[in-house]
Structure 1
């Protein structure tokens, strides 16, 4: 039977899956609007939601990191110490990439010199001037970091499935939603 220390707490699991869903939507939306004609309502709408979710993601990641450092439980790892170290490195890289992506997204938008607001509710003003000439570089970096996040997150998911299917350990089950009783072998 699983105990509460065998799984991540509910808020940690919620943060994990919410982050995954937002990352997937943002990556997909950016690639969808690239194929739409400029100026169309759908393209503008996708961009607007993408930007607003980027702002929400900034808050989510900050709260998630604070929760992880100060409050969230960490189930005991049941893997080889080398695998545990690799997992910690991968998680650290994902957090760093997500933070870099958020910063790059904000800088890119400010370099574009266009309005930047959260679901039309309030603007996010630039705290300093960013040369318009940087927009291409910042946009390219934003795109490259997005791909790095997708690749590393894909490896992260594959590793969880490998733990579950090959090693038969509880790594995947510890992060799945649902009650503890639903996760018994």
Structure 2
């Protein structure tokens, strides 16, 4: 019988499995790397070869994040997610909204970036993805959406982290241990 968050067998598992945890942290660190690399690249001269290299890696890692996000969403749809630890109703509502928004943004940001690249007449060279027919209108619209969506993602991630830390250090419940294996059982 699967361990449950609550003492009822019809509820979801108490924690995420190893693959779900791995995907979560791969996405987390990839998003940090994407943000850091672009901030650094924007400070370089346009002729600096490192700038082009960083953009190439940014496109490849962003595309990988899209694949990982799809995999994570499918995994949760198939295997389920742990039930929320019982909390005040407003906390549960915030958790559900922020998780849903985070999944949506983990799709939207890479889709806008990939689309912007492909419709700009460039491919994702490191992954062998060729460009689409150049369309400046579509590329421009996707470019206009990409950065604001990423900034919204950063805000939602910050809310997510604050919520996880709140559960760990103020509520003292098992929420954070679901994604941080060494905290399980503490």
Name the TM-score, length of structure 2 as normaliser. Answer: 0.85
> How far apart, in 1, do the equivalents of 2:36 and 2:65 lie?
15
Unaligned runs of 5+ in 2: 5-12
Question: Bigger relative contact order, structure 1 or 2, given CA contacts below 8 A and separation 6+?
Answer: 1
Alignment of 1:32-181 (within 5 A): 32-117=40-125, 119=126, 121-126=127-132, 129-178=133-182
The residue number in structure 1 matching 2:30 is 22
Residues 164 and 171 in structure 1, CA contact (< 8 A), matched pair in contact too? yes
Of 152-161 and 75-84, more deviation after overlay is shown by: 75-84
Unaligned runs of 5+ in 1: none
> How far apart, in 1, do the equivalents of 2:175 and 2:72 lie?
20
Secondary structure in 2 matching 1:157: helix
> How far apart, in 2, do the equivalents of 1:65 and 1:137 lie?
26
> How far apart, in 1, do the equivalents of 2:140 and 2:115 lie?
11
Show structure 1 runs of 4+ deviating over 4 A: none
The residue number in structure 2 matching 1:9 is 17
Residues 12 and 72 in structure 1, CA contact (< 8 A), matched pair in contact too? no
CA deviations over 1:51-104 (Å, ceiling 9, x no partner): 111121121111111101002442452323332222111110011111111210
Name the TM-score, length of structure 1 as normaliser. Answer: 0.86
Change (3 A) 1:104 1:76: closer
RMSD: 1.9
> How far apart, in 2, do the equivalents of 1:116 and 1:161 lie?
37
Secondary structure in 1 matching 2:176: coil
